[in-house]
């Protein structure tokens, strides 16, 4: 790898509405993980902040939160609020591109699901138990279980296989 510091950065969102979690099925045309069920999200692009006024002399703040709100709106048509960090993961894709993914949870704040069809082709609102019936991307069930524990008042723990 030429640059050890250069990663694709993505952020994902477990959206909760009336106690259910939104999962979506990746389009069969997607290069990575086609047809697998996951949660909405997308990649951070420099255009997400570079043209904005900086919040301080040197920095843009809330960049990931803004990207997540934009991606959720584009991908599934929903508004979200109360964004909280869940966990992070890294992977090296088959094409040797390294990715860092930040996983968050947020409450539904409005809107009806409208899928961006080039990204996703189906959706479901599910309980943790119901999510087991879907072919989830590896690790997503464990993230849902983490959120379930967080929301029941347990202190947030690090990711582990459930």
The DSSP result for 86-117, as a single string, is EEEEEEE-TTS-EEEEEEEEEEEEE------T
Q: Taking the C-alpha atoms of 77, 79, 83 and 87 in order, what is their torsion angle to the nearest 10 degrees? A: -10
- Measured at the alpha carbon of residue 108, what is the angle toward residues 112 and 54, in degrees to the nearest 5? 110
CA atoms within 13 A on the CB side of 79: 4
Render pLDDT for 24-41 as a digit per residue (tens, 0 to 9): 999 888 877 888 999 999
Q: Which is higher by pLDDT, 1 or 71?
A: 71
The pTM of the full predicted model, rounded to 2 decimals, is 0.91
Number of neighbouring beta carbons within 10 Å of residue 142: 14
Distance CA 148, CA 22 (A): 13
Closest-CA residue to 79 (of 63, 90, 68): 68
pLDDT of residue 105: 97
Render pLDDT for 52-103 as a digit per residue (tens, 0 to 9): 899 999 999 999 999 999 999 999 999 999 999 999 999 987 777 889 999 9
**Residue position matching structure tokens 């879907």:** 134
For the chain, give the mean pLDDT.
Answer: 91
In the chain, what are the domain boundaries?
8-151
Which overall architecture, per CATH, does domain 8-151 show?
Answer: Alpha-Beta Complex (3.90)
């Amino acid at each position: 790898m030429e640059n050890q510091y250069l990663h694709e950065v993505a952020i994902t969102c477990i959206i909760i509405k009336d106690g259910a979690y939104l999962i979506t099925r990746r389009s069969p045309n997607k290069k990575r993980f086609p047809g697998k069920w996951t949660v909405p999200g997308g990649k951070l692009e420099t255009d997400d902040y570079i043209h904005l006024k900086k919040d301080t002399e040197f920095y843009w703040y809330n960049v990931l939160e803004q990207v997540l709100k934009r991606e959720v709106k584009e991908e599934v048509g929903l508004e979200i609020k109360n964004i909280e960090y869940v966990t992070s993961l890294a992977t090296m894709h088959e094409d040797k591109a390294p990715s860092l993914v930040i996983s968050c949870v947020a409450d539904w704040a409005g809107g009806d699901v409208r899928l961006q069809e080039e990204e996703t082709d189906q959706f479901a609102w599910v309980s943790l138990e119901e999510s087991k019936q879907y072919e989830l991307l590896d690790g997503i069930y464990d993230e849902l279980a983490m959120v379930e524990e967080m929301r029941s008042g347990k202190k947030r723990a690090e990711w582990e296989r459930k």
